Amino acid sequence: MDHITTNRIMVILKSVLIILALGMITACNNHEKNMALQAKVDSLNKKLAQTYRPGLGEFMMGIQIHHAKIWYAGKNKNWALADFEVGEIRETLVDVKQYCYDRPEVKSLPIIYPALDSLSSAIKAKDQQRFNKSFVLLTNACNNCHTVTNHQFNVIKTPETPPFTNQEFKVK
Q: Give the model's pLDDT for residue 122.
A: 98
Tens-digit pLDDT profile for residues 113-124: 999 999 999 999
Angle at alpha carbon of residue 110, lines to 155 and 120, rounded to 5°: 85
Tens-digit pLDDT profile for residues 23-36: 666 666 666 777 77
Contact between 80 and 168 (Cβ < 8 Å): no
Taking 70 as the threshold, does the pLDDT of residue 136 lie above it? yes
For residue 122, which of 79, 76, 65, 59 has the smallest C-alpha distance?
79
For residue 55, which of 92, 109, 18 has the smallest C-alpha distance?
92
155 exposure class (CB count in 10 Å sphere: 0-12, 13-18, 19+): exposed
Q: Give the model's pLDDT for residue 26.
A: 66
CATH level 3 topology of 56-148: Four Helix Bundle (Hemerythrin (Met), subunit A) (1.20.120)
What are the distances in angstroms from CA 61 to CA 23, 53, 68, 92? 60, 15, 11, 10
pTM of the model as a whole = 0.74
Q: Give the model's pLDDT for residue 33.
A: 73
> Which range has the worst mean pLDDT, 26-35, 85-94, 110-119, 140-149?
26-35
Domain residues of the chain, as ranges?
Answer: 1-51, 56-148
